[in-house]
Structure 1
Amino acid sequence: MALPPIVVDLDGTLIYTDMLHETALRAVREDLANVFRIPFWLLQGKAVLKTKLARCARVDLQLLPYNTELIEWLKDKRLAGHRLVLCTASDHSIAQAIARRLNIFDEVIASDGRHNLSGISKAARLEQQFGQGNFDYAGNSAADLPVWERARHAIVVNASPLLTIEANNNVNVHKTFPRPRAGCRIWSKVVRIHQWLKNLLLFAPLVAAHDLTNGHAWASLVLAFLSFSLCASSVYITNDLLDIEHDRLHPLKRKRPLASGRVPIWQGVCAAPLLFILSLVFGYWAGWPFLQWLVVYFLLTCLYSLWLKRLMLVDCFTLALLYTLRIIAGAAAIGVTLTFWLLAFSIFLFLSLAFVKRYAEMEVQLLSGKKKIHGRGYLSSDAQLIQTLGIMVGCLSVLVLALYLNSDDIAHLYRSPEIVWIGVPTMLFWISWIWMQAHRGNMHEDPVIFAVKDRVSLVSGLIFAALLVLGSIGLP
């Protein structure tokens, strides 16, 4: 007696993402005018929308986040004699292409531009073709409940805990493939809370002005910090959405929540504008001068995500400017005028760290055997030159610090400026240390975030801070 066929859903089941969202995102990236076309296509029906998007969006199916555990199980079932059928509400052209790539399915049933094969319509189609109770079905959403009710066995894949309970109570569940754990921890990675540490640079002008007892300034900077952090998170999400295919090619970035499918694309699309609106609210409370610089930062980061990051060297200079903008915005929030020394030191230092970041990415690509950095304007062979440039501008930042400590301005702020001079070799050591770690392949993240976690960097920072304090209060 022939074994019953196993029918498998595509979106959220065979892959951890949804092809409607993937194609819509890709279509908008390739032609911004599609933002206005999509609503008109949707008015003609969801099946028409899927067909239109499949034709105009070139999604690299090889990079999709496939459910490897389910695929291996399906291969075993096929060897045991089960017939495998891919049945999806996605467009037929996409389903066929994925089936050809995996080469495990005997038949493909999908939406055809006229009928959207989802929920009850999918259940009716499968019942008509195989008969009630004569097939097993693997799905993941509440729309699959009518199909499970007419199947012999339900295979629950990547479903929410509530749906898993409902399925176990109402249908004959044969096997469950649990959903990867999500929650606050995953969303902290989506908004990249750890990157908020960069926004502590907003407080640098207050420290440089030796005005730490100003309560009003602290309140303004706290609001500015929240505003900048939410704005940055909005941009990070937007960047992850625009760069989703590039991230999937990267050995480390492919594990990001949006690239891996652990967080649906539609949630990222909704979260980005919401976070930006909240950032504007906090920015308004922080003051109009700060809000202006916040908008400049947002526009520059958008320009970086869309275009500048693909331009050789321009990307690093832009990153250095984005770091420095945090200091400028912090000064605007408390009404402090920045000195030439602080701006010059910041530009050179952050340009060196931007080069560190790009150099570390090149090293990863070089180890994986790739000659060109995907989505960037660099070759892997450029790594040595980037390293040289980065070390050079890092030393220039220390030179600016040394000239500042030898200037007349230092006497007005420090009682014992000679103590602060020890900060010059301290800073020189730290920059050398950061580049040494990048050279040894230990730099797997943003250098600022690395410094916060690195013990040597933390000790160097504490020594530098202690020197500033001792220089301010003077020795007995």
Structure 2
Amino acid sequence: MLLETGMAFVRSQPLKLFYPLRWLLKGKATLKEGLALGAHIDVSALPYDPVVIELIKTQRLSGRTVVLATASHHSLADRIAEHLQLFDLVLATDADRNLSAERKRDVLVELYGEGGFDYVGNSLDDLSVWDVSRKAYLVNPERGVEPRAKARGNVEQVIVSNRSSYRDWLKALRLHQWMKNALIFVPLLAAHQLTNLTLLWQGVLAFVFFGLCASSVYLLNDLLDLADDRHHKTKCHRPFASGRLPIGAGIIAFPLLLAAAFGGSALLLPWAFSGTLVAYYILTLVYSLYLKRQMAVDVIALAALYTIRIIAGAAAFGLELTFWVLAFSMFMFLSLALVKRYAELHEARTRGRTEKTRGRGYYPADLEMISSLGASSGYLSVMVLALYIHDQATTILYAHPQVIWLACPILLFWVTRVWMLTHRGQMHDDPVVFAIRDRVSLVVGVLFGLVFWVAA
């Protein structure tokens, strides 16, 4: 809960980022109080362990007293106890004491005597409490805790109900989203330099480093969006929101990935690429903390985040970007960003909601306007492609530039189909995931590429 309130505090009050350090200097109890009172936590949406809940209910039915003894701040503990309605007494941290480890042990011994209670825990701090408890229950114990607890000879049960796996990490890192980084190669394709092995290797490096940076961003974004994700139909299953991965692990992982991304790009790629990577990270951070809740600005920022990948590719290859590539990408990605928002709002309207969508700047009543703007933006990208065909530079680059006209109806079909499916509520909340899994979209992509190959 300390880490949970910490991330919620950063999300809600990013300009007070250094306040927790000031509180910590006054003691851990002050830190917990400041975070608990400065960040709102919806206790009804926390990922409670059903196995532990069942254990508590079983013990209560046998007539035993059940106490919530926690190092979390009492304001949180009281609300959790009120929500669950399972505890006869709450012991928690207050302004005068941090109820952890030895302090918790002393309070429990004072109330129930040594060996007068059973204790459920999972951390190294709990070892001192198990020393004086009658029985020890271990729930998803931290690394190294189980053997040390068993050495005490009073372990009654070890409950493993939520052990994370590499699949959880793969999901959290969202490796499938690395497909977006293929946009890095667009400048290479546009310049007809795909056979240049030196540039191609630079592109591979840029792809990997951008992916590491993006995964770092995804982890941080999930940590900042815990509350909103838990109220979402599908995002509630994300590893951090569901409790499959510990928040602490994410806090360690995201800066390591970021360091690898920036370190590698600084050593192996042009500085312009590293600068673009910095711009991407800053924009993403500002988007996560603020822009994503602002109407219209959020989708423009999303479109810019896609376009930055193309700019990063040009920086990695040392190539100049054309007006046509930038114009096409901005309109196309704005359309996809609006698809994403429409899908979210459509789901909210289906549930009968009329209020502003949680964590967003839109109402379900905005659906018609969003679809109008999104489809128009998609069609504008087709118009940009058509104008590109008549550009003098195009006639120089392609042997048969007139063949590119075939790409226009192909793209018109895809944009129309995407928006029709979105209107029917059949769109994934991430259009990139939809495109990767949709056979028709994959065929369209192959045909689109084939047209440009023939034109060359």
Task: Tell whether 2:383 aligns with 1:405.
Answer: no
Provide the residue aligned with 1:415 in structure 2: 399
Do the aligned residues in 1 keep the contact of 2:344 with 2:429 (CA within 8 Å)? no
276-285 or 198-207, larger mean C-alpha shift: 276-285
Provide the residue aligned with 1:87 in structure 2: 69
* 2:409 aligned partner, one-letter code: P
**How far off its partner does 1:354 sit?**
0.7
Do the aligned residues in 1 keep the contact of 2:14 with 2:289 (CA within 8 Å)? no
Task: Tell whether 2:181 aligns with 1:199.
Answer: yes
In structure 2, relative to structure 1, the CA distance for the partners of 1:396 and 1:129 (3 Å cut) is: same
**How far off its partner does 1:209 sit?**
1.1
Mapping of 1:68-217 within 5 angstroms?
68-160=50-142, 162-168=144-150, 170-217=152-199
SS in 2 for 1:87: strand
Do the aligned residues in 1 keep the contact of 2:51 with 2:161 (CA within 8 Å)? no
Cα deviation, 1:79-134, whole Å, max 9, x if unaligned, reads: 23122111111122322221122111111122233332222332332233222333
* 2:448 aligned partner, one-letter code: F
Q: Counterparts of 2:66 and 2:272 in 1: how far apart (Å)? A: 62
**How far off its partner does 1:168 sit?**
4.5
Task: Tell whether 2:271 aligns with 1:288.
Answer: yes
Q: Counterparts of 1:71 and 1:174 in 2: how far apart (Å)? A: 17
Do the aligned residues in 1 keep the contact of 2:217 with 2:285 (CA within 8 Å)? yes
Q: Counterparts of 1:436 and 1:181 in 2: how far apart (Å)? A: 41
Provide the residue aligned with 1:427 in structure 2: 411
170-179 or 103-112, larger mean C-alpha shift: 170-179
In structure 2, relative to structure 1, the CA distance for the partners of 1:259 and 1:214 (3 Å cut) is: same
In structure 2, relative to structure 1, the CA distance for the partners of 1:122 and 1:328 (3 Å cut) is: same
Cα deviation, 1:357-416, whole Å, max 9, x if unaligned, reads: 111111122223322211111001111221121111111111221222244433322223
Do the aligned residues in 2 keep the contact of 1:331 with 1:338 (CA within 8 Å)? yes
* 2:347 aligned partner, one-letter code: V
**How far off its partner does 1:177 sit?**
2.8
* 2:350 aligned partner, one-letter code: L
Q: Counterparts of 1:229 and 1:364 in 2: how far apart (Å)? A: 30
- TM-score relative to the length of structure 2: 0.93
**How far off its partner does 1:161 sit?**
6.6
SS in 2 for 1:378: coil
**How far off its partner does 1:231 sit?**
1.9
SS in 1 for 2:97: coil
Provide the residue aligned with 2:332 in structure 1: 349
SS in 1 for 2:115: coil
Mapping of 1:450-461 within 5 angstroms?
450-461=434-445
Do the aligned residues in 1 keep the contact of 2:215 with 2:257 (CA within 8 Å)? yes
SS in 2 for 1:259: coil
SS in 1 for 2:240: helix
Match of 2:204 among 222, 226, 232: 222
Task: Tell whether 2:225 aligns with 1:247.
Answer: no
Do the aligned residues in 2 keep the contact of 1:159 with 1:179 (CA within 8 Å)? no
* 1:108 aligned partner, one-letter code: V
Cα deviation, 1:6-30, whole Å, max 9, x if unaligned, reads: xxxxxxxxxxxxx211222333344
SS in 1 for 2:136: strand
Cα deviation, 1:153-173, whole Å, max 9, x if unaligned, reads: 222212247534554454333
Task: Tell whether 2:365 aligns with 1:362.
Answer: no
Gaps of 5+ in 1: 1-18
SS in 1 for 2:298: helix
* 2:90 aligned partner, one-letter code: V
- TM-score relative to the length of structure 1: 0.89
* 1:368 aligned partner, one-letter code: R
SS in 2 for 1:332: helix
Provide the residue aligned with 1:340 in structure 2: 323
Do the aligned residues in 2 keep the contact of 1:293 with 1:325 (CA within 8 Å)? yes
Provide the residue aligned with 1:303 in structure 2: 286
**How far off its partner does 1:442 sit?**
2.9
Do the aligned residues in 2 keep the contact of 1:137 with 1:151 (CA within 8 Å)? yes
Do the aligned residues in 1 keep the contact of 2:124 with 2:142 (CA within 8 Å)? no
Q: Counterparts of 1:33 and 1:340 in 2: how far apart (Å)? A: 37
* 2:426 aligned partner, one-letter code: N
Do the aligned residues in 2 keep the contact of 1:221 with 1:286 (CA within 8 Å)? no
In structure 2, relative to structure 1, the CA distance for the partners of 1:41 and 1:161 (3 Å cut) is: closer
Do the aligned residues in 1 keep the contact of 2:123 with 2:145 (CA within 8 Å)? yes
In structure 2, relative to structure 1, the CA distance for the partners of 1:165 and 1:251 (3 Å cut) is: farther
Q: Counterparts of 2:28 and 2:187 in 1: how far apart (Å)? A: 54
* 2:42 aligned partner, one-letter code: D
Gaps of 5+ in 2: none
Task: Tell whether 2:430 aligns with 1:446.
Answer: yes
Q: Counterparts of 1:174 and 1:464 in 2: how far apart (Å)? A: 64
In structure 2, relative to structure 1, the CA distance for the partners of 1:155 and 1:367 (3 Å cut) is: farther
Do the aligned residues in 2 keep the contact of 1:398 with 1:427 (CA within 8 Å)? yes
Q: Counterparts of 1:80 and 1:130 in 2: how far apart (Å)? A: 18
Match of 1:381 among 365, 372, 375: 365
SS in 2 for 1:422: helix
242-251 or 37-46, larger mean C-alpha shift: 37-46
* 2:428 aligned partner, one-letter code: H
342-351 or 277-286, larger mean C-alpha shift: 277-286
In structure 2, relative to structure 1, the CA distance for the partners of 1:40 and 1:377 (3 Å cut) is: closer
Do the aligned residues in 1 keep the contact of 2:10 with 2:224 (CA within 8 Å)? no
In structure 2, relative to structure 1, the CA distance for the partners of 1:49 and 1:441 (3 Å cut) is: same
Q: Counterparts of 1:173 and 1:440 in 2: how far apart (Å)? A: 55
Do the aligned residues in 2 keep the contact of 1:224 with 1:282 (CA within 8 Å)? no
SS in 1 for 2:156: strand
Task: Tell whether 2:297 aligns with 1:314.
Answer: yes
* 1:384 aligned partner, one-letter code: E
257-266 or 384-393, larger mean C-alpha shift: 257-266
In structure 2, relative to structure 1, the CA distance for the partners of 1:350 and 1:27 (3 Å cut) is: closer
Provide the residue aligned with 1:231 in structure 2: 213
Q: Counterparts of 2:417 and 2:148 in 1: how far apart (Å)? A: 56
In structure 2, relative to structure 1, the CA distance for the partners of 1:376 and 1:31 (3 Å cut) is: closer
SS in 2 for 1:421: helix
Provide the residue aligned with 2:256 in structure 1: 274
Do the aligned residues in 2 keep the contact of 1:197 with 1:449 (CA within 8 Å)? no
Do the aligned residues in 1 keep the contact of 2:140 with 2:163 (CA within 8 Å)? no
Q: Counterparts of 2:147 and 2:351 in 1: how far apart (Å)? A: 43
Provide the residue aligned with 1:16 in structure 2: none
Do the aligned residues in 2 keep the contact of 1:148 with 1:171 (CA within 8 Å)? no
Cα deviation, 1:39-92, whole Å, max 9, x if unaligned, reads: 343233322332333333332222322223322332233123122111111122
Do the aligned residues in 2 keep the contact of 1:149 with 1:171 (CA within 8 Å)? no
